């Protein structure tokens, strides 16, 4: 049929291996904390709740233990005698992709919490006298892990390359499974470029239609305005100049399968109205014919745009937006799915090395750390491209940082330099601490270190003795044990 060029329409192809089975290991927890009493009581409490818990009191011991046994959950103290706990997070994740690391700390700071999450930690919690909140958190993770295992088992054959264990992707799969049961519901998939909207559409297609049913993808950007209706609905012979024979459109081609409107935000406003009518009536007719045909296919739309915003700007019809919003599914960006990064990286590594006939090992901690620090503005596609490139460059054996794209390595270095410097961290609670209170604490600290000698304290603070006296006055901190006045 004429005019098909540039319009992506095709049947479903299975081009990726299905997900790995969730492993049936017993649920084990590693508690890493140099406060032995705390570590032991936490481990005891976990065992009382039916889990298997081990303890490690130093970073070195923790790494050694995690090398011999795989722990789905690691509870990690922030300040260990031999290392910063947060720095260990990528090591645990590299040992076992999908491992849940929870960083425990004596008191919370926003900066270190952000840092912990960026390294791939699931959570950052404050240690209290009672171990109960931590135990509850672990039980929650265990229940989620069981749910994931069920999802893994249930749909292994139809996961269709929609991989991931992060809470975000588990929720997406749950929603897709739910809506799979009602094939007439229109589904809207939203998410940044490269997050896997098309993969999600394929999953839904597989989950809701008979095997062999077609998936027809309509690229709304590429739809040529003059032919669009004939492409979608087909036409009768003589319906317009040049229509020398009757032709079927995409709705007919999709049969009882799925029709995916990709980049729906780019659809021409005139066509938006026509699509709305088809969605509402679930009927269409060929151009030049009055015979109505039922829509047998599920209608799915995908976009990386903010449709609500487009409605406000007047480029997207409000009524179509409302119709599409009946069942929206948001696919979170990869940077919100920290746990999926290494899982996907390993999957792509296996995929591309199989294809190129290379033997390449799973990424070690150095590569894992770099991959985890990146923010993936291009999402899964960016990660996939990076791994493909790395597999091409790597001769075999161990994947090294130099095989990764420069941009990714550079970003990891910058964020490590920002977070890993040895300067003491400034801890403050936003909304409670103020610049004044911080200044006051610094002055107190300096006076303490200087044994109350003000000239020395001023030197430590980098101000003159006079300036220090002024500040002491301002804060009403004049002490009577003036040693050098
Ligand atoms: N969860 C996932 N598991 C495995 N592969 C994935 C996953 N998500 C995405 N991919 C892969 O990443 C690439 C991008 O995914 P996809 O084309 O579905 O993204 P998209 O959201 O449709 O992007 P765009 O907005 O640019 O169209 C594809 O090669 C796809 O196979
Ligand atoms: Mg897409």
* Averaged pLDDT score across all residues of the chain: 83
Q: What is the 196 CA–ligand 1 centroid distance (Å)?
A: 3
* Residue bearing the CA closest to ligand 1, atom 31: 199
- Name the residue of 176, 193, 194, 385 whose CB sits within 8 Å of the most ligand 1 atoms, as the mutation to test its pocket: 194
Whether 286 is in the pocket of ligand 1, judged by its Cβ within 6 Å, is no
Residue 23: predicted pLDDT: 41
Whether 194 is in the pocket of ligand 1, judged by its Cβ within 6 Å, is yes
Q: How many CB atoms lie within 10 A of CB 149?
A: 15
Which token pair is 295? 């829509």
Whether 193 is in the pocket of ligand 1, judged by its Cβ within 6 Å, is yes
Is residue 69's pLDDT more than 90? no
Confidence of residue 25 (pLDDT cuts 50, 70, 90): low
* Residue bearing the CA closest to ligand 1, atom 10: 196
Whether 385 is in the pocket of ligand 1, judged by its Cβ within 6 Å, is no
How far apart, in Å, are the Cα atoms of 74 and each of 46, 88, 145, 384? 12, 11, 14, 28
Q: What is the rounded CA–CA span in Å between residue 364 and residue 463?
A: 47
Tens digits of residue pLDDT in 196-207: 999 999 999 988
Q: What is the 200 CA–ligand 2 centroid distance (Å)?
A: 10
Residue 458: predicted pLDDT: 86
Place of tokens 């900066």: 111
Is residue 177's pLDDT more than 50? yes
Rounded to 10 deg, the angle between the 167-180 and 132-154 helix axes is: 40
Residue 39: predicted pLDDT: 94
Lowest mean pLDDT among 17-26, 55-64, 330-339, 369-378: 17-26
Note whether 320 and 239 are within 8 A (CB).
no
The ligand that comes nearest to the alpha carbon of residue 198 is: 1
Tens digits of residue pLDDT in 382-407: 999 999 999 999 998 999 999 999 88
* Residue bearing the CA closest to ligand 1, atom 9: 196
Q: What is the 378 CA–ligand 1 centroid distance (Å)?
A: 10
Q: What is the 220 CA–ligand 2 centroid distance (Å)?
A: 11
Tens digits of residue pLDDT in 268-292: 888 999 999 999 999 999 999 999 9
Mean predicted confidence (pLDDT) in 355-375 = 88
Residue 148: predicted pLDDT: 65
Whether 378 is in the pocket of ligand 1, judged by its Cβ within 6 Å, is no
Question: Of 112 and 174, which is predicted with more confidence?
Answer: 174
Q: What is the 196 CA–ligand 2 centroid distance (Å)?
A: 7
Percentage of the residues of the chain whose pLDDT score is greater than 90? 44
Place of tokens 């409670």: 432
Lowest mean pLDDT among 20-29, 119-128, 322-331: 20-29
Residue 160: predicted pLDDT: 65
Residue 383: predicted pLDDT: 96
Residue 150: predicted pLDDT: 59
- Name the residue of 13, 190, 380 whose CB sits within 8 Å of the most ligand 1 atoms, as the mutation to test its pocket: 380
Q: What is the 175 CA–ligand 2 centroid distance (Å)?
A: 19
Residue 24: predicted pLDDT: 47
Q: Helix (H, G, I), strand (E, B), or coil: what is residue 64?
A: helix
* Residue bearing the CA closest to ligand 1, atom 29: 381
Tens digits of residue pLDDT in 286-323: 999 999 999 999 999 999 999 999 999 999 999 999 99
Q: What is the rounded CA–CA span in Å between residue 401 and residue 408?
A: 9
DSSP 41: H
Question: Which ligand 1 atom sits closest to the C-alpha of 189?
Answer: 21
Q: What is the 199 CA–ligand 2 centroid distance (Å)?
A: 8
Mean predicted confidence (pLDDT) in 149-173 = 70
Q: What is the 384 CA–ligand 1 centroid distance (Å)?
A: 9
Q: What is the 90 CA–ligand 2 centroid distance (Å)?
A: 30
Q: How many CB atoms lie within 10 A of CB 5?
A: 7
Question: E strands, 162-249, where?
Answer: 187-190, 215-219, 234-235, 247-248
Mean predicted confidence (pLDDT) in 451-478 = 82
Tens digits of residue pLDDT in 218-251: 998 878 777 888 999 999 998 888 888 989 999 9
- Name the residue of 198, 206, 347 whose CB sits within 8 Å of the most ligand 1 atoms, as the mutation to test its pocket: 198
- Rg for the chain, CA atoms, rounded: 29
Confidence of residue 483 (pLDDT cuts 50, 70, 90): low
Q: What is the rounded CA–CA span in Å between residue 11 and residue 455?
A: 80
Question: Which ligand 1 atom sits closest to the C-alpha of 191?
Answer: 21
- Name the residue of 381, 383, 389 whose CB sits within 8 Å of the most ligand 1 atoms, as the mutation to test its pocket: 381
Residue 124: predicted pLDDT: 84
Mean predicted confidence (pLDDT) in 133-161 = 70
Whether 337 is in the pocket of ligand 1, judged by its Cβ within 6 Å, is no
Q: What is the 394 CA–ligand 1 centroid distance (Å)?
A: 24
Place of tokens 């620090």: 373
Tens digits of residue pLDDT in 114-141: 777 777 788 888 888 788 999 999 998 8
Whether 384 is in the pocket of ligand 1, judged by its Cβ within 6 Å, is yes
Tens digits of residue pLDDT in 433-455: 677 777 888 888 888 888 888 88
Residue 415: predicted pLDDT: 67
Residue 302: predicted pLDDT: 97
Residue 460: predicted pLDDT: 82
Tens digits of residue pLDDT in 401-432: 999 998 888 877 776 665 544 445 566 666 66
Lowest mean pLDDT among 28-37, 192-201, 363-372: 363-372
């Amino acid at each position: 049929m004429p005019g098909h060029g540039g319009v992506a329409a095709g049947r479903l192809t299975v081009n990726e291996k299905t997900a790995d089975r969730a492993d049936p290991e017993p649920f084990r927890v590693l508690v890493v904390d140099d406060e032995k009493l705390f570590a032991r009581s936490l481990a005891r409490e976990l065992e009382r709740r039916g889990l298997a818990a081990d303890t490690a009191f130093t970073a070195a011991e923790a790494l050694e233990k995690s090398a011999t046994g795989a722990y789905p959950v690691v509870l990690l103290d922030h300040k260990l005698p031999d290392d910063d706990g947060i720095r260990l997070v990528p090591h645990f994740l590299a040992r076992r992709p999908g491992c849940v690391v929870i960083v425990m700390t004596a008191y919370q700071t926003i900066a270190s919490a952000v840092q912990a999450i960026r390294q791939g930690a699931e959570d950052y919690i404050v240690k209290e006298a009672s171990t109960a909140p931590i135990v509850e958190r672990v039980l929650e993770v265990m229940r989620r892990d069981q749910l994931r295992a069920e999802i893994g088992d249930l749909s292994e054959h139809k996961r269709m390359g929609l991989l991931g264990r992060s809470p975000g992707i588990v929720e997406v799969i749950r929603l897709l499974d739910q809506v799979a049961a009602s094939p007439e519901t229109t589904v809207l998939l939203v998410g940044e470029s490269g997050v896997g909207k098309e993969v999600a559409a394929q999953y839904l297609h597989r989950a809701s239609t008979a095997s062999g049913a077609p998936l027809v993808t309509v690229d709304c950007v590429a739809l040529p305005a003059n032919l669009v209706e004939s492409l979608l609905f087909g036409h009768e012979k003589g319906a317009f100049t040049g229509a020398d024979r009757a032709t079927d459109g995409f709705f007919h081609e999709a049969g009882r399968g799925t029709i995916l409107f990709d980049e729906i935000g780019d659809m021409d406003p005139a066509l938006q109205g026509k699509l709305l009518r088809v969605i509402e009536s679930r009927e269409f007719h060929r151009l030049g014919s009055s015979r109505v045909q039922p829509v047998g296919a599920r209608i799915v739309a995908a976009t990386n745009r903010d449709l609500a915003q487009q409605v406000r700007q007047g480029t997207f019809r409000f009524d179509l937006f409302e119709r599409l919003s009946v069942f929206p599914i948001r696919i979170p960006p990869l940077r919100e799915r920290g746990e999926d990064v290494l899982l996907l990286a390993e999957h792509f590594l296996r995929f591309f090395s199989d294809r190129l006939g290379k033997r390449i090992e799973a990424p070690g901690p150095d590569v894992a750390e770099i991959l985890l620090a990146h923010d993936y503005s291009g999402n899964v596609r960016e990660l996939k491209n990076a791994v493909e490139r790395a597999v091409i460059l790597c001769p075999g054996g161990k994947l090294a940082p130099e095989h990764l794209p420069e941009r990714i390595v550079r970003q990891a270095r910058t964020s490590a330099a920002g977070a890993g410097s040895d300067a003491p961290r400034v801890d403050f609670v936003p909304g409670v601490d103020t610049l004044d209170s911080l200044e006051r604490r610094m002055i107190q600290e300096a006076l303490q270190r200087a044994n109350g000698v003000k000239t020395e304290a001023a030197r430590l603070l980098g101000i003159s003795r006079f300036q220090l006296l002024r500040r002491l006055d301002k804060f009403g901190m004049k002490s009577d044990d003036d040693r050098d006045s």
